[in-house]
Amino acid sequence: MGTNESHLFRYPEAIKEEFLAGADIVLRDGTRVAPAEIWAYLTEEGPAKYPHIYDQSNYFGRRISGDVGLSYALKANYLLMTMNDRISRAKARGVPVVFVQGGQSVDPYYAAGAIGLRPASTGIWARRKETGLSRNEEDLRGQKRRQKAYNEISIEVCNSAGYEHIQDGLAVDMIAPFSCLRCSDVSYGLEAHRHGQRQDVKLLLIDYPLDHQRDKEWAITYFADNLRRLTRSIDELTGRTTTADDLSAEIKLHNEGRRLAVEIADLWWSAPVPPTNGKDRRDIFQMGGMEVHADPTASLSVLREARDLIAKRVETGVHGLGVATDASRIFICGSCVSPNEYRVEQAGGIIVGNDNHWSDITTIVEETGDPYYNLAKAILSYPYEQPIKERARWTAEQIKKSRADGVLFLYKWGCNTQSAAARMIVDEIKAQTGLPTLIIEDDMQRSQTEQMHNRISAFIEML
């Protein structure tokens, strides 16, 4: 099943001159990628290698945004498409890849000289290894592999967390998630890998104390020791010794990304009409997690450019492409589910924020003193991991800042913590904000996506 060429998105020549005058992307290994190289990739190599990314024939997937004046979005697309090429080059230099799960900040993984990848990024890397696939071929391939993973892990599992890619030979060197409150998938996944085909993958569980962990001194020092255990385990792969100075430098770099993402969010939320569409918003807000491109230095380049562009759009009153001037603003709560932003906009809404990774992005790590202790203290204080009432109050504050008109709590079937907490969190948010709310359970299969969007459209109509 080939790709219909007429459905393929093309970047217009009219923006080329301005794009070429922009800044380079600086990669972690010091390489600079000039805009001319990025443009050539996006207009020639990218469409040939990954036609499904350029396919505009239906609403689903990560359709390229047509808001082509946002040069940062073009650069983010370049980084996402070159994920396999860049990781392959790093691996050839001996850089290990470590799988991260549980919403943890990736500072210690990079401090130890590894590439830390969360489940979604692991999936992006795996998908970039197959080229020339149409949208349908790519969808079918993904569904089949995920089904195989469900069969091998457990029927109760919500998300396969990249299990299928790793067990099928994706060159992940170590699996090192942490046992936090938000995610019941970590234990299923780790155990399944223990019994899987890939006996060469190193396994490590980082033990995360629960229950008012933020206020207990023993919990902070215990978790700091777990972070030391993590960097020592990565050292066994690299043969080097990670120092406290390495971690301090990494924390500073990641703090810059976190601060930039918060600054961008404040700017974005301050505009009477959003300065970008929902997809371009999600991409920059998430970039503050410093992991989506498998290269925090590159993400930082893109974030700096995004901050300047968003500031300019807000100052001059430019609206995001396709966003209605009276769009209903929706805040999303819950893990691992995200509606298709284009569908939401078509129904007259706009997604203005979400709580999940925003919780770690907004947590700035102290930069003086023992970096392991500081990082442990910060991670144990993530609002998303606090007792329900406290998490809900923090979420309500973010909702108020975002000037949302309504709140959607989405969770996946099988997501034990989020499904149990949804009602209580939403009730508290309602009490704090007075906003209309809706809870929707989703599954990983496309069969339910249409139903979810019908319900979201009805919610937008009501708003």
The footprint of ligand SF4 (CB under 6 A) covers 158-159, 161, 182-185, 335-336, 412, 415, 418
Q: How far apart are CA 79 and CA 306, in angstroms?
A: 15
Nearer CB in complex with ligand SF4: 57/179: 179
CB-wise, 303 or 421, nearer to ligand SF4?
Answer: 421
Cα(9)–Cα(46) distance, integer angstroms: 11
Considering the complex, what minimum distance in angstroms separates the CB of residue 187 from ligand SF4? Answer: 10
| For ligand SF4, the closer CB: 269 or 411 | 411
Q: Which residues of 326-354 are buried (b: 16+ CB within 10 A; e: fewer)?
A: ebbbbbbbbbbbbbbbbbbbebebbbbbb
Which one, 51 or 334, has the nearer CB to ligand SF4? 334
CB of 157 to ligand SF4, least distance (A): 7
Please provide residue 338's backbone torsions phi and psi, each rounded to the nearest 5 degrees: -145, 130
Q: Which of 80, 90, 167 is nearest to 125 (CA)?
A: 80
The residues facing 439 across adjacent strands are 409
Give Cβ neighbours of residue 150 (< 8 Å, ≥ 6 apart). Answer: 157, 160
State whether residue 3 is helix, strand or coil: coil
Q: Minimum distance from CB of 245 to ligand SF4 (Å)?
A: 34
Q: Comparing C-alpha atoms, which of 261, 196, 222, 427 is closest to residue 333?
A: 427
The CB-of-60 to ligand SF4 minimum distance in angstroms stands at 19
Q: Which is nearer to ligand SF4, 154 or 454 (CB)?
A: 154
Task: Give the nearer residue to ligand SF4 in terms of CB position, either 381 or 417.
Answer: 417
Least CB distance to ligand SF4 at residue 221 (A): 27
The minimum distance between CB 335 and ligand SF4, in angstroms, equals 3
CA–CA separation, 321 and 318 (whole Å): 9
Q: How far is the CB of 124 from ligand SF4 (least distance, A)?
A: 16
Task: Return the number of the residue (136 or 417) whose C-beta is nearest ligand SF4.
Answer: 417
Rounded to 5 degrees, what are φ and ψ at 132?
80, 10
Whole-number Å distance between alpha carbons of 148 and 171? 19
Instruction: Return the number of the residue (154 or 451) whose C-beta is nearest ligand SF4.
Output: 154
Question: 180 or 300: whose CB is closer to ligand SF4?
Answer: 180
How many Cβ atoms are within 10 Å of 436's Cβ, its own excluded?
14
Closest approach of Cβ 364 to ligand SF4, in Å?
A: 23
Q: Give the count of alpha carbons within 13 A of 283, CB side only.
A: 30
73-to-70, 166, 179, 303, 414 alpha-carbon distances in Å: 6, 29, 33, 10, 33
Nearest alpha carbon to residue 36 among 1, 2, 78: 78
Q: How far is the CB of 384 from ligand SF4 (least distance, A)?
A: 10
